[in-house]
Structure 1
Amino acid sequence: MPPVFRFAPSPNGYLHLGHAYSALLNFDLAQQSGGRFLLRIEDIDGTRCRPEFEAAIYEDLAWLGIAWETPVRRQSEHFAAYREAIDRLQADGLIYPSFESRAEIARLVAEREARGAWPRDPDGAPLYPGTAKSLTEDERGRLMEQGAPYALRLDMAAACARAGDLHWREQGEGPAGETGDVAARPQAWGNVILARKETPTSYHLSVVIDDALQGVTEVVRGTDLFWSTSVHRLLQDLLGLPAPAYRHHRLIPDDAGNKLSKSTRATGLRELRAAGASPADIRRLIGLPPFCGGQPASPP
């Protein structure tokens, strides 16, 4: 079976040079290996994702010379699949609802930090400090009947106890040079959110389900998502899903050395194209070699 690669942007802004690097690297590797290249639209955030941004994704990628299989998978069309996974985890006693607002969680974190250091996840966000796991079923049911907003969280301790030690195959390199067989550390993320009352999924949940349903065998993405792979490996194990090979690549920084943002107009593909840049110029700017004889040269 040929390898299957994917590029999965969110339509909550216009693509920039960092997106171009990831998309072109995936496309190049698919071309080199005789594999398949898929495009997935990760549009579960109904408040930020907009049709004009999705249309711009197709336009920018086609301009870069990237071709993808159709139909394109749009996450907003597959909430039923994510809800089914939530139901399975709930039946296994591995998720629970929490009812604190973001403001209440921030207050709880501040109270705990006033007494000493409070743990943070690999992205620097404080771990969930609440006590919702200790609520009784009656208390949870009463809050839900009252229409209280809630988030469904993974009981990380129970999930890790069930899964045991997990690893993934890293073909690229992590932030500190990690490569090869990497030990997953999902507990570093605490009781992550897997769904909310208004949205039956999250990035962590939907990405592993989509990769499995689409037969993705090679996940090529930025090093900013390196340690998120720990959560993904855990969910793959809990849901009986296959684990693809992972290859995390360098990020394209802005002039100040920071990670690019979709609000950074100077590196937006639309702005660069309007200023006269060509697809070859984009490849040069992001450090990818040109196409050779109709096929991509080996990426760095």
Structure 2
Amino acid sequence: MKEYHKLIKKILKNGELKDNRTNIKTISIFGHQAKYNLKDEFPLLTTKKLHLKSVLHELLWFLKGDTNIKYLVDNNVRIWNEWAYENFTKTNEYNNETIKEFVDKVKTDTSFAKKFGNLGPIYGKQWRDFNGVDQVKNLIEDIKKNPFSRRLIISAWNPKEVKDMALPPCHTFIQFYVTKDGFLDCQLYQRSGDVFLGIPFNIASYALLTYIIAKLTNLKPGTFVHTIGDAHIYENHIPQVKLQIKRKPRKLPKLVIRGEWSSIEDINYDDFVIENYNPHPHIKGDVAV
């Protein structure tokens, strides 16, 4: 994960200080690309501990086509809570509940969760129903039938529905590439990336997606190419990233998939095992909503 540390140093050295919708300024650069080997290792950050459970559950949530935080909340994954809560605070039924009270109600009250847990037509909706098109199933079939196609693409950016999303997709466009020797590469274009909190998570998530698609198409995971538009560090994360780049990266873990699948519907959380993950301690940071 030296590539990730290079990105932090590049932003700290060359980034512009900019305002944005969150009211917390960022230091940012535009147009960055990094490559991560997936053949013998899994790119899970080691200079701070990542919550792999959240990575796995969120990706499975996307693949199910789900857009309601109920599934995540039931599995104690908090990464989308702030956006659902922010939407709730704008409704007539908001009565100064804290975010904890809101989440507890989503967990225990099915009708409340159905009404206020939905984030609009975000990633899962677009992946599985982009104006009626199941992009994930189409991708898998296209790879099997025409592996060298240059149209192996999934898009999360749907101009017609962006206005209805709690958060317009940051990771917007995915392209896959099959090599002659049977490896599956994946390139993600990410329009915006929170380098301290989001980017390590995104790297792991799309590496995991590459492993999953490779298994379903009888290929081997190859390379993950990560292209970022606006790569930024929030001002309130600068002490954390400076601490992080002082830490020496450790040997990357391996991902083992134990399940046997014939389709994406067969995938279960317990099918995935990370071996030899030995990270430095977690570093806390607040998300900018």
Q: TM-score range by the shorter chain?
A: under 0.3
Q: Which has the higher strand share?
A: 2
Which structure is higher in RCO with an 8 Å CA cutoff and minimum separation 6?
Answer: 2
Give TM-score scaled by structure 2 length.
0.24
Give TM-score scaled by structure 1 length.
0.24
Larger Rg: 1
